[in-house]
Amino acid sequence: MQFHVELGLLILSLAFAVSFFGGLGIGIDLGEYRIIYILGANPDRYIEYMLEAFLYLILPPAVGLAYSIIAFVRERKSPTGVLKKWWLPLMVVGGFFFFWGVYGVWWTYTNYLDVIRMVNEYGPVEIADLILKVCLAVGIGDILWMFAGVLFMFSPIFKMMVREKDASTTN
């Protein structure tokens, strides 16, 4: 099976679309505090939240990352390759993925703090652990995007450094 960096980027782009649009549709509603009322009325909804977070926010970037890491490792072993031609787009897309992940972690964390404050004031306190677990699942997906961004931003740099090192040792 042939692994290509461009295909990894395409897979991660599709994974981003799935995460973005699927994440909008899962309805965790941290920003609107509806999660308090939903979990307060039906704590079993927590399982659905976790399944949706896994399917839409964790699995797509994990699959894209796995493919991309394999492609980068195979690319690293080749003397020529795509990274020489694609270094700028990879770094730009990597920067976007990284900042998207940072924004997601920040958004989840600040909204989690607001929701927990609301739970402590108005809601059933026993759902606080469930909200934490849901937020952690969402945060894991965001951390995967940060990792994908770092991978795509720094892989061309490392490839160039390896080429320079190989060129200096052969001379």
Token look-up 């976007």 returns 96
120-125-127 Cα angle (round to 5): 120
**pTM of the predicted model, to two decimals?**
0.83
What tens digit of pLDDT does each residue of 118-162 get? 888 887 888 989 999 999 999 999 999 999 999 888 877 776 776
Sequence spans of domains, the chain = 5-165
What tens digit of pLDDT does each residue of 76-96 get? 655 445 556 777 887 888 899
- Nearest Cα neighbor of 63 from 51, 54, 75, 76 is 54
